[in-house]
Chains A and B, each alone.
Chain A
Amino acid sequence: MRRRMNHRLFKRLQGKESDLMNEVVSFFSTTIRLAAPTLLAALGIVFSERAGIVNIGTEGMMLVGALAGVIGSYVTGSAWLGMLIAVFVTVLFSAIFAYFTVVVKADQTVIGTGMNLLASGLTITVNRALFGASTSPPEIDSFGIVAIPGLSSIPIIGPIFFNHHIIVYLTFILVPIAQFVMFRTNIGLKVRSVGENPKACDTVGIRVGLTRFLSILYSGVLAGMAGSFISMGMVSFFTEGMIAGGGFIALAAVVFGNYTPRGVMLSSLVFGASNSLMYRLQALATNIPSQFLLMIPYVITIISLCIVSRKSNKPLGSGKPYIKE
């Protein structure tokens, strides 16, 4: 009798423990998944920022990428081709930003804001023209979860790290590569230098405008990938304004990560965790009004930016067009 009761109690306790474990695993897994698009876009911005460009238009670029990916996937029937088309379209879109800021030397903030407004209007128009204002989104191919054989069956570690969309893996693999390129290669040195002192670069024969232009296009490639991953991985449809500040969060992640790919990864994970926390708290159905919960990621962004604003690697020539005398 007694032994049986003990056994039952043990089983119940075990059940609670595994509930808690599931909770923790799911929290970290969600953190990584939600950090991925921010990190992907931020890995692009970190290069354009280092080159001296404040790319406020990232939000718009991601939005364009999100829609172009869905359209591409709808037309071709392949998520991969969809993403390729998204990258192509976003690079074209970022070329507009690059042309006005680098060639025409207009104010980066003004042009960036203009790009965001343009993207917002453009995506709504194109989306409605193609798919109508219907409530049911079109069926498209999207990125599924790819569990890595072997590794994903390790308890705890497996579900946290090795059970994700393929784009998530690619994003995190890109971090050490980006770190290497930025600090160990000739191109990385050029990019870091044109942001600090474009005139000095001019005197050693570096083409400042070209370097800046290409770094914007590169950030466009990654913004396109990030945007289309949101519309074809996180969900599998496009909704108007679906980036919802994700581009600005990525921009903040670059500042918070102190302009290095490794730092950007850590800050993206912080933002991912705060989003993950928000979802957990929402699911727990506490008495806290949901509006406050939705604020969490943005409040954390503001606080973190205040913390790191001192002693920054922010390039000296940031945001200033290079005008030859």
Chain B
Amino acid sequence: MTTILEMRNITKRFGSVVANDDVSFSVRKGEVHALLGENGAGKSTLMNILFGLYEQTSGEILYKGETVNIRSPRDAINLGIGMVHQHFMLIPAHSAIENVVLGYEGNAAVLDLKGAAQRFTEMAERYHMNIDPWELVSNLSVGQQQRLEILKALYRDVETLILDEPTAVLTPQEVDGLFEVIRQLIAEGKTVVFISHKLPEIREICDRCTILRRGKVTAAGLEISEIKDLNELARLMVGHEVELVTEKTLSEPGDVVLNVENLNYTNDKGIHVLKDVSFDVRAGEIVGICGVDGNGQSELIKCLTGLLPATSGKIELMGNDITGSSPKEILKQGIGHIPEDRHAMGMVGQMNLRENIAMVDGHDEPYSSHGFMHWKWIDDFSRKLVAKFSVKTPSIMEKAINLSGGNQQKLVVGRELSREANLLIAVHPSRGLDIGATKYIQSQIVEARDRGVAVLMVSTELDEILEIPDRVLVIYSGRILACLDQCDCTRSGLGLLMAGIEDDSEEQTA
């Protein structure tokens, strides 16, 4: 096999930060090459250089043996390099086919969308990725949008396709579908660069891998088939031994802390989002809610925390009816809430760490009295919190927005855990975090459980759902389809339930 792409001694600096430090990366024609690394290791930066979105500070790129100068995505596309970004580069207000032809060099002045749609549909059928070319992108599911992105690149006849964390947003079945497409691309002689930090899927789909850590290559071109132990890859990625499994003892559930009965919610568009949801969470146990995004999880949590009014049903916290209470009243009853979107709901980016820490309980002792803030106490408390939850920051006066995603999440988790709540609601606690930060936050949640806190956790990550909760509720289309003990959960069984297939899961997995 010949080398199709070579990046030699690439260095990229953003101001004083070195994102890529003398990185060399070489890909053979016709292989799936994994680019592994934690968040912030420099994977996306390296690929954005290859795709012409960034310009390297130094180093050179060879494509098919020739030195190339890639100054813009147009140069990359003309060479035959395509990229599917982690955050899709689609325009929701346009139709699928308009997104495909946008910026295409073969366009005539007056667009021939019908002809393009025909070519697109033929191509889509060949790869078994059927998408209606006239559908608006805003009506496509996340999985369909990803397929559209892949087809958009193939429409430009790319030979090398970069996939940036493609599985982060997919259900297990959709991941299988994606892998099928990748295998077909390889069979046609194309080359795929696969960016990820999920080790099991790397082993399943990739031929070789290159590992980055803090902008440097720690392993180049490892043959995946020769790797026996995934811990070995994890060590190269993180730099020290990591426990891939969070230590956990059997739970000892106590009294019921949260009790939800026949909860219904209909939104302002008249859509019945939650249908007769009933469950309870006991002290000292973790209940996980798993499901594909958009099946009512977010509305359920908002009803529990008072951000949305339930249409009917009853919510009890420690025996008190909190249905219809305001968020402030509910927080006072002892709920800690790690919200789904830390930027929009968990913190105020433009405020500093100590202000963010004081935000939730700031109107009470000991944070303040008679409306005056006790900054001395807050500073003291903030420093302890930052140290305890190992939030990496120059000082507590730093703006929250300047922290990395993982450290922002540690800040929010730390604040909510130190509120001595009876119930902790954690929504996507590890979304967007690397292995190190994920394991740390998961262990903190388990520790809270062991202290007797009732935990309700929402996640779309099957790995997390299989590992952390003691009981798992599967939500589909606003309904709780199943309640399983952790030991009864299997990957394929949960995957089918998440897709709404309600057949007896034992039968399916037998």
Binding site for B on A (CB under 8 A): 184-187, 189-190, 192-193, 196-197, 199-206, 313, 315-316, 324-325
Contacts and interface: CB of A to CB of B under 8 A. Distances in A.
Contact of B89 (A192, A203, A313, A325): A203
B387 interface: no
Interface stretch (B97-105, B215-223, B231-239, B412-420): B97-105
Contacts of A192: 93-94
A193 B95 CA distance: 11
B93 to A, nearest CB: 5
Interface stretch (B70-78, B325-333, B436-444): B70-78
A185 B51 contact: no
Contacts of B74: 204-205
A186 B101 CA distance: 9
Interface in B105-161: 105, 107-111, 152
B72 A204 contact: no
B77 A205 contact: yes
Contacts of B152: 204
B109 A205 contact: no
A205 B152 CA distance: 13
A189 B93 contact: no
A187 B92 contact: no
A204 B77 contact: yes
Nearest to A187: B109
Given A186-B107, A192-B93, A200-B102, 12 more contacts: A186-B109, A190-B102, A192-B94, A193-B102, A196-B93, A197-B91, A200-B89, A203-B83, A203-B89, A204-B74, A205-B77, A206-B103
Most B CB atoms within 10 A — which of A203, A204, A315?
A: A203
Nearest to B110: A185
Contact of A204 (B92, B104, B110, B111): B104
A201 B94 CA distance: 13
Contacts, number: 70
A324 B55 CA distance: 12
B28 interface: no
A196 B110 contact: no
Given A201-B103, A202-B53, A185 B111 contact: yes
A202 B88 CA distance: 13
B85 A203 contact: yes
B102 A189 contact: yes
A200 B149 CA distance: 11
B108 A199 contact: no
Contacts of B103: 190, 193, 201, 204-206
A193 B109 contact: no
Contacts of B107: 186
Nearest to A180: B110
Most A CB atoms within 10 A — which of B53, B91, B104?
A: B91
A197 B111 contact: no
B473 interface: no
B91 A200 contact: yes
A185 B110 CA distance: 4
Nearest to A185: B110
Contacts of B73: 202-205
Q: Sort A-B residue pairs by CB-CB distance and give the 8 closest, nearest first.
A: A205-B74, A204-B103, A200-B89, A186-B107, A196-B91, A203-B89, A206-B103, A197-B91
Nearest to B54: A325
Contact of A197 (B90, B108, B109): B90
Contacts of B77: 204-205
Nearest to B88: A200
B342 to A, nearest CB: 20
A316 B108 CA distance: 26
A313 B138 CA distance: 13
Contacts of A196: 91-94
A232 B91 CA distance: 42
